[in-house]
Amino acid sequence: MPNIQDKVVVITGASSGIGAETAKVLASKGARLVLGARRKDRLFRVVGELRESGGTALAEPTDVTRFDEVQRLAQFALDAFGEIDVLVNCAGIMPVSPLSMARMEEWNRVIDTNIKGVLHGIGAVLPAMKERGEGHIINLASIAGHQVFPNMAVYCATKHAVCALSEGLRKENPEIRVTLISPGMVATELTESIELEVYRKGFQEAYLRQAMTPKAVASAITYAINQPPSVEINEVVLRPTSQEV
Ligand SMILES: NC(=O)c1ccc[n+]([C@@H]2O[C@H](COP(=O)([O-])OP(=O)(O)OC[C@H]3O[C@@H](n4cnc5c(N)ncnc54)[C@H](OP(=O)(O)O)[C@@H]3O)[C@@H](O)[C@H]2O)c1
């Protein structure tokens, strides 16, 4: 039995890439979407496209590094639809630099976005989900949450943290479904968050050769949501077939 029709799904990081594609796939299956990200023009463009195709979608500009803004996004969804069935914590950035450069501002930004952003999402929806006795939280980690790559230690640390938080969330809340999605290379705008050109170019070349489409990740998220309430997909790891690491 499909289990997506009419579900209220809040997605952070929905202005591009995996978040936008997931919104598209879920809207086509009858979910009601509430989208958050910082770039208003891109966010509302996604909403416009979803509505043009007959989907139900709203957006609230949101910076996930701020708990008050993520709370506002959750409240916006509750006011509009009365409940939140699923939260997809998708917002993220991927800076690349060796630890020896001590890029403290960059480290703070990636920690604030990738770890605190996920915590802000959990904190904004979990109490109401627990009160209702059901809900589904989907966190975007990465294969960088399962191994550590040189020059990416801080990004990898944030994704390891997302793995740990997801496991804790699952163990503490048996009534809530928790899913961790760990993709390899996906063709999105993520490499644009690499500030140092020397690394950005290398990554963009590798992504051009190998990356899978965001649709592949959207399918994995859709699969997890579509399970019957008694089934929790805990983790999906997916890579482009040709990706070795
Ligand atoms: N692409 C990959 O190879 C890959 C692999 C593994 C895991 N992932 C993970 O997948 C997730 C989505 O990334 P993507 O590949 O789809 O990249 P993307 O196209 O760059 O999307 C990232 C999204 O995060 C949003 N975002 C960034 N900082 C934010 C903030 N402070 N507040 C709110 N939204 C913020 C961006 O929107 P605004 O800039 O408009 O705010 C954008 O919508 C990330 O968590 C990433 O780590 C990606």
pTM above the 0.95 mark?
yes
Q: How many domains does one find in the chain? A: 1
- Mutation pick for ligand 1 pocket among 112, 143, 190 (CB with most ligand atoms within 8 Å): 190
Is residue 64 lining ligand 1, measured as CB closer than 6 Å? Answer: yes
Residue 155 domain-assigned (yes or no): yes
State which ligand 1 atom lies nearest to the alpha carbon of 91: 24
pLDDT number for residue 2? 67
Residue 2 domain-assigned (yes or no): no
Residue 243 domain-assigned (yes or no): no
Residue 3 domain-assigned (yes or no): no
pLDDT number for residue 144? 98
Residue with tokens 């965001």, as numbered in its chain: 214
| Structural domain span for residue 135 | 8-236
Is residue 68 lining ligand 1, measured as CB closer than 6 Å? Answer: no
Residue 158 domain-assigned (yes or no): yes
| Cα-to-centroid distance, 37 and ligand 1 (Å) | 9
Q: Which helix (H) or strand (E) holds 172?
A: helix 153-172
Is residue 22 lining ligand 1, measured as CB closer than 6 Å? Answer: no
Residue 242 domain-assigned (yes or no): no
Burial state string for 76-114 with b = 16 or more CB within 10 A and e = fewer than 16? bbbeebeebbbbbbbbbbbbbbeeeeebeebbebbbbbb
pLDDT in tens, the chain (245 residues): 568 999 999 999 999 999 999 999 999 999 999 999 999 999 999 999 999 999 999 999 999 999 999 999 999 999 999 999 999 999 999 999 999 999 999 999 999 999 999 999 999 999 999 999 999 999 999 999 999 999 999 999 999 999 999 999 999 999 999 999 999 999 999 999 999 999 999 999 999 999 999 999 999 999 999 999 999 999 999 999 999 99
Q: How far is CA 139 from CA 58, 103, 221, 236, in A?
A: 21, 26, 10, 11
Residue 245 domain-assigned (yes or no): no
Is residue 190 lining ligand 1, measured as CB closer than 6 Å? Answer: yes
| Cα-to-centroid distance, 111 and ligand 1 (Å) | 13
| Cα-to-centroid distance, 162 and ligand 1 (Å) | 14
Active site residue 223: no
State which ligand 1 atom lies nearest to the alpha carbon of 193: 20
CATH code (residue 221)? 3.40.50.720
| Cα-to-centroid distance, 1 and ligand 1 (Å) | 31
Is residue 45 lining ligand 1, measured as CB closer than 6 Å? Answer: no
Residue 89 domain-assigned (yes or no): yes
